[in-house]
Amino acid sequence: MKILNVEQLRALDQYTIEHEPIAPINLMERASQAFTDWYTARFDRDRPVRVFCGLGNNGGDGLAIARLLLQLEYNVQTYVVRYAPRESDDFMHNHRRLKLISPITYIESEKDIPVIRNREIVIDAILGSGLSRTTEGLVQSVIDAINHSPATVVAVDIASGLFADTANGPNSTILLPDYTVTFQLPKLAFLQPSLSRFVGEWHFVDIGLSRAFIERTPTTYFYTAESEVRHLLHRRDRYSHKGSFGHALLLVGSYGKIGAGVLASRACLRSGVGLLTVQTPRCGYPVVQTAVPEAMCRPDRHEHMLTGESEVEGLPLKEYSAVGIGPGIGTAPETLAMLRTVLAETTKPMVIDADAINLLAANRELIAKIPKNSILTPHPKEFERLTRRWTSDYDKLGILRDFAQRNQFIVVLKGAHTAIATPDGTTHFNSTGNPGMSTGGTGDVLTGILTALLAQGYDPIEAAVLGVFEHGRAGDRAAEVRGQIGLTASDVVDALRWD
């Protein structure tokens, strides 16, 4: 699913109007009806509704929504915030229609702002996605009043005051919605961690905008939906065997952190790899052999850390279809030496996570040794160590894109709506997962999943998009059973299901 910028969204509306064809006011009616359908499926008539409208087309949506809810016998009071001398034509059309069936209250100064009470629902249609400057004056006062009220707040398309795809100023006044219901496609702002309180729980509704225009409009940002992921999954031949699905090597664990290797190993096996070898310090050998009997285990010559050497031989990297390294390995000098060897001898894309990333950040000359199209899976702090501190989430996206392109890696920046930056300059945001996955070990699970997919011959970009999606979906399944608060990484492994 594409994520378009404000100018492209405006052009999409205009193209739909011209080529469907449909009158602008009828397209507004269609959007308002879609919002109303979403609203009525969730909120009963016994909760009073206050609709706050601006003077542009977002305000026109609000007026139409108020009329549609009134026709469904909801208790609705509509307010128009008069912050400018002129209204849009479509606003005026819906204003006339609403006024025929209900009075409208005008807010022309701060004294006109109503007291908003508990159990009431506020529908925000003051400012839309075309906003290009920070809120001020009367609009700012109305937003402040809504934010300080006990009401449930639902934003139409985007919260008033929030820029759709650029950073707001440090002192911007922005609505704090509980829900945002956007039209057709997500906005880039919805996927930024620091903006989550200005978005709330967001949903998008299909309003029939031109699919032909969307398909041919270029963008570097995408949102991964289940319908797209389904096409990435490889189907298995009836006559396949364990050799058909690759042989993965996981370099994992150190004294006190063998569990990270166990989690990665279990996830790798649950993600379809044909054969798995796990190299772990000698202290981890009985743990891995017991906890993951399906895996072959190479005990490192060192008791407590990874050096890459086993009791009988070095590390035969060419035997393996894919290598994953990092979970629980620590940052000892001997382990750094192993990482140098692995990077010097590995030519295939690999998965690099956790302490392996920390070693790269402390020894940046090694970054140039990483095989092209490898997958790096940092969390934000690890990524900052690799690159630099950012000034905003949009600055971070630029750093992420540039780092992936410059080095020709796939970088999986973990978090809510995990961002996957690719060597071709595109960024894919994930749609699965939940806060319950914010617990130790879930990143190790992802490493195992991605290593398994590379070993099976998946294209590295497709492996990253598919693996991150299925990792999040397993977390969602686990949360349905366990709840989010008590979720563990083992629950995520157990919930993996590739169908």
First-residue to last-residue Cα distance in the chain: 21
Judged by average pLDDT, the poorest of 10-24, 157-171, 302-316 is 302-316
Q: Region 330-356: what's the mean pLDDT?
A: 97
- As a whole number, the mean pLDDT across the chain is 97
Pick left, alpha or beta for residue 184 (phi over 0 → left; psi -120 to 50 → alpha; otherwise beta): left
Give φ, ψ of 59 to 5 degrees: -65, -35
Task: Give the strand order in the sheet containing 275-280.
Answer: 221-223, 427-429, 419-421, 410-413, 375-376, 351-352, 322-325, 247-251, 275-280, 296-299
Could you report the per-residue pLDDT of 43-102, keeping only the tens digit for each? 999 999 999 999 999 999 999 999 999 999 999 999 999 999 999 999 999 999 999 999
User: How far is 57 from 257, CA to CA, in rounded Å?
Assistant: 56
In this model, does residue 35 exceed pLDDT 70?
Answer: yes
Q: Region 107-133: what's the mean pLDDT?
A: 96
Residues 6+ apart with CB under 8 A from 420: 410, 411, 412, 413, 427, 428, 429, 430, 461, 464, 465, 468
Give φ, ψ of 325 to 5 degrees: -140, 140
For residue 309, the model assigns a pLDDT of: 87
Q: Region 232-246: what's the mean pLDDT?
A: 95
Amino acid, single-letter form, for residue 52: F
| Cβ contact 452:278 at 8 Å | no
Q: What confidence tier does 164 reach under pLDDT thresholds 50, 70, 90?
A: very high
User: How far is 25 from 57, CA to CA, in rounded Å?
Assistant: 10
Q: Which residue carries 């699905």 as its tokens? A: 245
For residue 396, the model assigns a pLDDT of: 98
User: How far is 455 from 437, CA to CA, in rounded Å?
Assistant: 25
For 417-470, the three-class secondary structure string (H helix, E strand, C coil) is: CCEEECCCCCEEECCCCCHHHCCCCHHHHHHHHHHHHHHCCCCHHHHHHHHHHH
Could you report the per-residue pLDDT of 352-399, keeping only the tens digit for each? 999 999 999 999 999 999 999 999 999 999 999 999 999 999 999 999
For residue 62, the model assigns a pLDDT of: 98
Q: What domains sit in the chain, N to C, each tagged with a CATH number?
A: 6-218 (3.40.50.10260), 229-494 (3.40.1190.20)
In this model, does residue 132 exceed pLDDT 90?
Answer: no
Looking only at Cα atoms, what is the longest distance across the chain? 88
In this model, does residue 207 exceed pLDDT 90?
Answer: yes
Coil, strand or helix at 376: strand
In this model, does residue 313 exceed pLDDT 90?
Answer: no
Could you report the per-residue pLDDT of 420-479, keeping only the tens digit for each? 999 999 999 999 999 999 999 999 999 999 999 999 999 999 999 999 999 999 999 999
Q: What confidence tier does 171 reach under pLDDT thresholds 50, 70, 90?
A: confident
Judged by average pLDDT, the poorest of 163-172, 211-220, 326-335, 466-475 is 163-172
Q: What confidence tier does 312 reach under pLDDT thresholds 50, 70, 90?
A: low
Backbone Cα Rg of the chain: 26
CA distances from 298 to 211, 218, 457 (A): 53, 48, 24
In this model, does residue 311 exceed pLDDT 80?
Answer: no
For residue 1, the model assigns a pLDDT of: 94
